[in-house]
Structure 1
Amino acid sequence: MFLERFIQYIKFEKRYSPHTVTAYRADLEQFMAFLTAGTPADHPSEITHHDIRNWIVSLMDDKLAARSVNRKVATLRKYFRFLLQEGVIEINPAAKVNTPKIPKTLPVVVEDVKLTQMLDSDDIFTIDFKGTRDKLVIELLFGTGMRLAELLGIKEADINAHEQTIKVLGKRNKERIIPVNKELSLLLKEYITLKKNENFDNKSLRLIVTDKGADAYPKLIYLIVQKYLSYISTQSKKSPHVLRHTFATTLLNNGADLNSIKELLGHANLSATQIYTHNSVERLKSIYKLAHPKA
């Protein structure tokens, strides 16, 4: 009962995305199942910080990554904060629970020069609908830094060919306008023409569609990205987010300021964007070691 009230709250009042709502529900149901396996609580007020700590230990024993554990604990904190506001409980048992430290890792990127050469090549992408669509997917992710969910959500009506911009719906249903370069604008026009010529039975309003004209889905985009990044990179991680990281790092390396990158990425605060400065520092270190006699 309380869980469903919380789900309705984040879905309709907070307007979280369907993906986020699903993740919150899964986390809470997993925690409730853990409690039921032990000594079940009849009421949320009976849940203690010891229960949450035991759950964390259980998750760590199952080799769950620290980042994933912290996300689940964040879900609990938000849930119990909601119950506190509703007067269901008097103390938030998750408030003072310590979470595992997350090891610092640099964003994974690919070499922008190799990526640009691949996109400019005449031998990689076929000139039919499928090849043009695949190229557009890579160009959009690398050329705008948009998220996977944002890419899948783009409609043809969101493209302003005259202004050379695309409107995307980001996290928390926040809209933002992303500029596109002239080359990408021409590719968009070419793709839309090819898409219309396919005469799909399914007239999807989405920009990116499958070979049969249905709305594109996450797995399809992953497969496209993995296929083409394999031409230029041997690293194991080849995902849409790698192209987002590459977009941000490339801008920073070429003199863009952090606030501008923050706006383009749709970050809520600057701290999320600052992680890309570490990549630039590491790049400078490598250049120094190669170029300076005292390095």
Structure 2
Amino acid sequence: MSFSLDRLNEMAPADFAAAVGDTFENAPWVAEAAAAQRPFATVTALHAALFAAVQAAAPERQLAFLRGHPDLAGKAARAGDLTDESRREQASVGLDSLDEEGFARFHRLNDAYKARFEFPFIVCVRRHTRESILAQFERRLANDAAAERAAAMREIFFITRLRVAARVTGEGMPAVNGRLSTHVLDTHAGRPAAGVAIELFQLDGEKAHYIQSAITNADGRTDGPLIGGQPLPIGRWELRFAVGDHFRSRGIAAGDPPFLDIVPLRFSIAEPEGHYHVPLLCTPWSYSTYRGS
């Protein structure tokens, strides 16, 4: 259920806490602490107040809060014993459907992490690919205790900002979404390339997971973003452009088979809330790209 900011500002404290309390994992006291600071002028200010309540808590309460988060792809996830928010978030990157090898790898990392830091590994999975989550896991195991506690709190900031943005509508929404777009320019003809089939894949090790397809319009662009309305998951990606079909349709002789048929562009995303525009400029015999805006 979503709520308007105006309605939240007018609620009784107990109702306010009930409405947004579960945006912070198993910690209704966060919303209870922020309720007295109303009214909030923006949704961003609401989230800032909620997060500030965590930051102001005593170290022992902060540690208990961290310990209240679930393992990634842990036994609780397999048993379905997660909060609704955590279940949906872990499912968004396939952590609910790992094979035995993948589950065992997460289990080993979870155990190593908790033995070192005494709370579960916390990451905003909606801002990452599975490959990136594993890279973060292994990198952060080398942190000292203070650095890792700070890293966990940063991830909680991102997790809860997304949850609040999904729960509350109103002025000053947090900037939580990114955008991935493309266009194709036929530099041989000097005009946009219409009708080019494009496929988007997410890379995970040596595997390429199909995400979606699109066709360029008369402007050489897709009718909508390839990814929009959500964070762009950090990780490696690939766009595949069927330029061979495009040049054949123009009657261009480029060999049999053609010199360029499917052009793959591999790129990485590091800014989940950013705009990545990845165009293709091509002739029947060459191509180039850049990060545009």
Q: TM (normalized to structure 2)?
A: 0.23
> Which structure carries more strand by proportion?
2
